[in-house]
């Protein structure tokens, strides 16, 4: 299956009508196979990071049906922004640590280590993805994994985890009892990450609840927050994006970089400028999860870092770099 997957990804990079037709045929075959047989494949890590490096493991464990390498094939800048931003924060803070909430299979670790090396706390609640996350995390030093779902409060939710195409989200079904923990509760159990200066949150609509549940951590540490802003998935969780931005503004956050879900910088905004925020929000309303933003929010104290990163990220987006 590794040979099939890597051949498909290689064909996808070729130019011309014949390779395109072959890619479409093989991709359709992969989707059919994935419905009945979905093994974990050892895929070359270059299909995730875009490079080979002695600093990175040769391979990543990934479900055969996972869509991530195909997103990166089509949009080479996908997810590389978080690695560059983390490296810039690490440069300012040598004792930097990073929290990855909704870590999935651990692919973000690869992207982070493409740019710099620092301790990472990976949090994932889904049993299946956590099993793969642990396998991938074991290939690195200074990576700790935690099996937990994260929410606005420490509670038990009647829900189940639903997986599709490489992502998982909670469905309130009454089928299972899911234990939710807040970020501060998890950090009490892992105090070496208490002062993490950057947190990534990618949880298919639960991002706002997790941010609100992390209020004490945000107030004390003022980390840079990189999170998914998807009005469709937020609405499924009875939440909305503008209220999250209001919350961040009240807790000392001042500026944000706005990316599309393909990794391209769209705008840089002052969180006080709500007319502009409302306009940006309107552009991704009713897109049913097909188009959304990734937002990187900076506290007022990190305005210098925000300005530096903004210039770098604008350069990457302008030149189509990854």
- What are 195-231's pLDDT values in tens digits? 999 999 999 899 999 999 999 999 999 999 999 999 9
pLDDT of residue 168: 59
pLDDT of residue 290: 82
pLDDT of residue 191: 98
Please check whether residue 134 is in contact with residue 145, taking contact to mean a CB–CB distance below 8 angstroms: yes
pLDDT-flagged residues of the chain (< 50): none
Helix residue ranges per DSSP H, the chain: 2-13, 17-36, 46-49, 68-74, 80-92, 107-115, 127-137, 183-189, 207-213, 215-221, 231-236, 241-250, 274-284, 303-318
């Amino acid at each position: 299956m590794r040979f099939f997957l890597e051949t498909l990804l290689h064909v996808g990079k070729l130019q011309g009508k014949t390779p395109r037709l072959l890619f479409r045929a093989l991709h359709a075959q992969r989707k059919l196979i994935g419905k009945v047989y979905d093994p974990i494949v050892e895929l070359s890590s270059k299909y995730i990071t875009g490079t080979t490096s002695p600093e990175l493991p040769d391979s990543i464990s990934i479900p055969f049906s996972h869509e991530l390498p195909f997103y990166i094939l089509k949009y080479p800048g996908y997810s590389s922004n978080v690695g560059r931003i983390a490296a810039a924060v690490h440069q300012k803070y040598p004792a930097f640590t990073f929290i990855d909430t909704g870590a999935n299979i651990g692919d973000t670790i690869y992207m982070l280590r493409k740019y710099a090396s620092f301790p990472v706390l990976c949090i994932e609640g889904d049993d299946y993805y956590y099993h793969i996350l642990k396998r991938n995390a074991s290939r690195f030093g200074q990576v700790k994994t935690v099996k937990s779902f994260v929410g606005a409060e420490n509670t038990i939710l009647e829900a189940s985890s639903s997986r599709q195409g490489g992502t998982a989200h909670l469905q309130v079904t009454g089928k299972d009892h899911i234990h939710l923990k807040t970020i501060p509760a998890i950090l009490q159990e892992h105090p070496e990450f208490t002062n993490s200066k950057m947190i990534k949150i990618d949880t298919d609509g639960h991002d706002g609840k997790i941010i609100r549940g992390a209020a004490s951590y945000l107030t004390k540490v003022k980390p840079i927050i990189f999170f998914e802003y998807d009005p469709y998935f937020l609405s499924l969780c009875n939440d909305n994006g503008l209220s999250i931005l209001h919350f961040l503004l009240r807790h000392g956050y001042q500026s944000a970089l706005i990316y599309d879900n393909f990794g391209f910088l769209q705008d840089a905004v002052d969180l006080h400028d709500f007319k502009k925020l409302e306009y940006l929000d309107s552009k991704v309303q009713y897109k049913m999860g097909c188009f959304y933003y990734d937002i990187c929010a900076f506290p007022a104290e990190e305005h210098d870092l925000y300005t530096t990163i903004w210039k770098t990220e604008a350069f990457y987006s302008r030149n189509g770099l990854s």
